[in-house]
Amino acid sequence: MELTQISDLTPSARGEVMSRGSELAAIESDVKQIIDNVRADGDAALREFSREFDDVEMNAIEVTGAATKAVETIHSDVQAAIASTIDRIETFHRHQLRDDWQADFDGRTLGRQFRPIERAGAYVPGGSAAYPSTAMMTVVPARVAGVNTIIAVTPPADPINKVTLAALSLAGVDRIFAAGGAQGIAALAYGTESIPAVDTIVGPGNRWVAAAKAAVQGDVSIDMIAGPSEVLILADETADPEFVASDLIAQAEHDPHASAAAVTPDLELAKRIGDAVRDQLPKRTRGGVAESAFSNESSGIFVAESMDQAVEFTNEYAVEHLGIMTADNESIVEQIKHAGSIFVGEYSPVAAGDYSTGPNHVLPTAQTARVSSGLSVDTFMRSRTVQHLDKSALKDINETITTLAELEGLEAHAESIQHRID
């Protein structure tokens, strides 16, 4: 991994480190074409893209039945791991449920109600790796929220990973379809002969999936732009370089476009992290993928002049997964403004959160942690306000309403009040 002094970064170079979502622009036109084809040709387009991108001749697009059978074929130990993970995810997300409330404001009875959306679509990645964890992370919060219909899509394969299918089934999904990439997102957004359209789309994916979610946003809601995986480890001289290196490699092995970085004010530690990465990398089966990710502009080991500068760099980076390994973790956590999920201490590896601690692993990427939150029950909820006024309460605010309505030139607004109180 490349070692870089933060103070040596030019504004342009620093911008390249931070701008992890810029690659989406390069594929926007191609993604739009895929979406247009799915909208026009439906299932036929999905089958054609399956042949082109996945090298799979797809017969049945719906694979719900195969998921039910998969549950029966997986080993009991795998079933137990899935069940315990579902329980942890569900327990954590039930704490996010909100209660309706109502209060009296001088005769105005006002309140807020929370209701689930009706149809949710979950994108579960496939391809070079299987992600039963994402199946659970996307479906369980929707079920906890009370979503009426939960649909999942996952890339076609021959066969589709049975553990992913089993996880979807056990998590409580209603229907599952073989559709990956931008075409899978398009199918969820607009529907095909086989796949019903949904109201919101959630789940991570590669840059094609991220670009497609950005393109359909507005026609449907999305959770966030959750592109290739990211990790930043903020460490000081007390950190174990072997632990830091293992966390970096663990996220880098997801995708050649992943970002894996460490920042520290300790030059000696930075060198030891680099050595540990070089030592561990050849021992990992997906080491080639991780090595490609380490060559990205946003990856590397960044050396700060002080912990304050390291924290400043961290906040600007606004990473998906932030690991903190310092002598004063709690103080550092309080200084963090932007991060999808924070992993505190040397025994809180990012991989634990990827699987089974309970919080969601679908998190904002490409600096969108500045404005977005991770997947939660809130993603599947909408709120509405309820207002009930008696005549006296309306009379109390009549003059205010009339004054503002007349200022805006909306006479009928004022008259709608006067008709009731005259």
User: Annotated catalytic sites, by residue?
Assistant: 320-321
Residues 199, 203, 205, 207: what is their CA dihedral angle, to the nearest 10 degrees?
Answer: 50
Q: What distance in Å separates the CA atoms of residue 4 and residue 302, rounded to the nearest whole number?
A: 5
Q: What distance in Å separates the CA atoms of residue 101 and residue 324, rounded to the nearest whole number?
A: 38
Per residue in 321-340, pLDDT tens?
999 999 999 999 999 999 99
Nearest Cα residue to 131 out of 289, 336, 320, 362? 362
Which 3 state secondary structure label does DSSP give 321?
Answer: strand
What per-residue confidence (pLDDT) applies to 22? Answer: 65
Q: What distance in Å separates the CA atoms of residue 325 and residue 232, rounded to the nearest whole number?
A: 11
Q: Are 85 and 133 spatial neighbours (Cβ–Cβ below 8 Å)?
A: yes
Nearest Cα residue to 7 out of 306, 412, 420, 350? 306
- Range(s) of the chain covered by CATH 3.40.50.1980: 3-20+228-358, 25-225
CATH code reported for the domain at 25-225: 3.40.50.1980
CA distances (Å), origin 83, targets 78, 140, 186, 364: 9, 11, 31, 26
Q: What distance in Å separates the CA atoms of residue 180 and residue 47, rounded to the nearest whole number?
A: 11
Please, how many CA atoms are within 13 Å of residue 93, restricted to the half-sphere of its CB?
Answer: 30
Q: Edge-to-edge, what's the strand order for the sheet holding 321-325?
A: 3-5, 300-303, 259-264, 230-235, 321-325, 341-344
End-to-end, the C-alpha distance of the chain in Å comes to: 77
Give 44's contacts (C-beta < 8 A, 6+ positions apart): none
Q: What distance in Å separates the CA atoms of residue 393 and residue 400, rounded to the nearest whole number?
A: 12
Q: What distance in Å separates the CA atoms of residue 234 and residue 166, rounded to the nearest whole number?
A: 37
Helix (H) or strand (E) holding 94: helix 76-94
Question: What tokens does 341 get?
Answer: 């999920």
Q: Which residue type does 44 have?
A: A
Find where tokens 């980076």 sit.
Answer: 317
Which 3 state secondary structure label does DSSP give 264?
Answer: strand
Reported CATH class of domain 3-20+228-358: alpha beta
Q: Are 216 and 191 spatial neighbours (Cβ–Cβ below 8 Å)?
A: no
Per residue in 86-107, pLDDT tens?
999 999 999 999 999 999 998 9
Q: Kind of pairing, strands 149-154 and 259-264?
A: unpaired
What per-residue confidence (pLDDT) applies to 21? Answer: 63
Which stretches of the chain drop beneath a pLDDT of 70?
21-22, 128
What per-residue confidence (pLDDT) applies to 82? Answer: 97
The pTM (predicted TM-score) of the whole model is: 0.91
